[in-house]
Every structure is written in C-alpha cells, then in structure tokens.
Structure 1
Amino acid sequence: MAGTRWLDSDEQRTWRAFLAATELLADALDRQLQSDAGMTHAAYAVLVILSEASDRSMRMSELARATNSSQSRLSHVVARHEERGLVRRERCPTDRRGQVAVLTDAGYDVLTATAPGHVETVRRLVFDGLDPTQIEQLGTISQALLAVLDPEGKLSAVFPVS
C-alpha cells in the first residue's frame, strides 16, 4: 500500500498511549458511576444534559445527538431511567410523533448526590496529574480533535468548549 501514511515511531507511541489512557479513563468512570449510582457514564451523561436543559427537558432526537447516541440506544437508557423514576417521557407539544425526556426531581436528586464523587474521580484521574500548562495543552488538543471529529459542532453546542 504505497499511499498509506503509516505512523512513525513517535506517532505510534503517542497513539497507543492516548488509546490506552482514554480506554482506562472510560472504564474507571464507568466503575465509579456503577458503584455510586448503579449507572454507566453514558446514562449519567443523559442526566447531566437534561439537568442543564431548559425546563430539564429535551426532545429525544436532540438528546440522542447531544449524547452522541443512536435513537435506539438512547431509548434503552431512558427506559432504564424511567424504571428508576429518574426520567419520564412526554409527548412533544409541537410534534405529535416526537417525545420529550424530562428529568424528574428524583433524577435531579440522584444526579446531585452522584456528581461530587464523579467530579472527584475526574479530578484525580485527569487534572491532578497535570500542571497548569499541561491542562491548557490538553484543552487545546481536545478542541483540535473536536474540530476534526465534530466539524458541525453538534456536541460542542451541548458541551461548550470555549
């Protein structure tokens, strides 16, 4: 394959370290949230996004985009939250076919009880090991990656980065 742009040894080392770090971080966050709240990081993200939305509610299609999830996967997560009384679904007032996910008071309570442990885990696993310059570099690198991975800014509309 003459056209393949192979990674050089420095790029390969960087890629493998990045991949290992992101996989280990995702696993650690899932473990912490499973232990503290009985949910995955993806399920926690649904509660966070709803808590920050106007009236703590959002169209399911918009919530799927915001969580970078398929409609089907999101529907399963919301169904589990509904079983626990954390979220409820309502008909969309402007579109009979659409549904809106609404964070309940119980869901908000679970989120506020879980957030301190989650933030502490993020701080311990990501920020405590970096100096201020590295934190700034991580932000710059993350924004550059987002520009390539999310060129339309779908996620950054929900998770502002600037």
Structure 2
Amino acid sequence: MTVLKYLQAYPQTLQDQVRQMIERDQLGSYLSERYPQRHAVQSDKALYAYAQDIKQEHLRNAPSFDKVLFDNKLDLTHRALGLHTAISRVQGGKLKAKKELRVASLFKEAAPEFLKMIVVHELAHLKESDHNKAFYKLCEHMLPGYHQLEFDLRVYLTWRDMQGKHAD
C-alpha cells in the first residue's frame, strides 16, 4: 500500500481514492484539469505586494509584516510550506520585532490557487497563532474553499514527489 505522507490526517476513504488515482496514473491529469494555470508572482517584491493586497482586503487591523519572500531553504522534510516568524532585534535600547512571511520556493511553479492558499494560511497566523477552529474559520473566510484547496495542495505534493521518484 502506498504511504501518502501528506494525506495521513485525512480519512482512509479519501486516501484510498488518491491511491486508486495513482494506480490508474490519473493524478497528474486530475490536477492539470482542476488547476491548469501557473501564477505570475515570481519575485519577492511581487509576493510582498500580493500578500499585502490579501491582507488589506481581509485583515486590515492585523499587525503588518515587514518582509515577504520565497525561501528556497524551506522544504517539505520540515513540513513547512510557508512560515511566519517574528525576528526580535535590539535597536537603540528598544526591542523591535520584525514579522516575516516566507513561502517555499517550490510554489513559484504552482497554480495560483495553491499560492493563495499558502499566503492566506500564513496571513491567518497574524491573528491566530495556533491551528485551531478560529484559525481555520479565518482561512475559510479569507479564501472560500480553503479546505478543498489544502487537500488538493497535498495531492499536488504527493504527485510532485512521485514525479521526482520517476526521474531517478
């Protein structure tokens, strides 16, 4: 039985459906039919503007962020698709915290829906630090269909891993 490391938290019936698609070699076509486009956000500056637009639309009163960037050091072995961090520095006797949002570089090549899902997820952490009910409710408010996109993103990561194994 194929281990679906990105889908382990999902019900067995969903995992079995994905396994059947893998066996029939249908995973790639499912994803390309559902998510045929690639986004145009390719630089850190563009990603900052993209995240700022979403924040302005949904989280005007949330703390702002200082930096947004694609990070090629984020990888899936650390289970991080994106990160939100607060870096504290002493400046002139004062402690300043700079908030950063980092998105794994692999999402430069992803569908726009997946990039938006990751950015929404990281922005939601500006208001809710834990992955609790309020956090996911906020994600769903900012991006209707968030849960389906998160599932499909995990299917995409599964497919991407399979492509890497076939290339060996």
TM-score, L = length of structure 2: 0.27
Report which of the two has the higher share of helix: 1
TM-score by length of structure 1 reads 0.28
Higher relative contact order, chain-length normalized (CA < 8 Å, sep 6+): 2
- Asked which structure has the greater CA Rg, the reply is 1
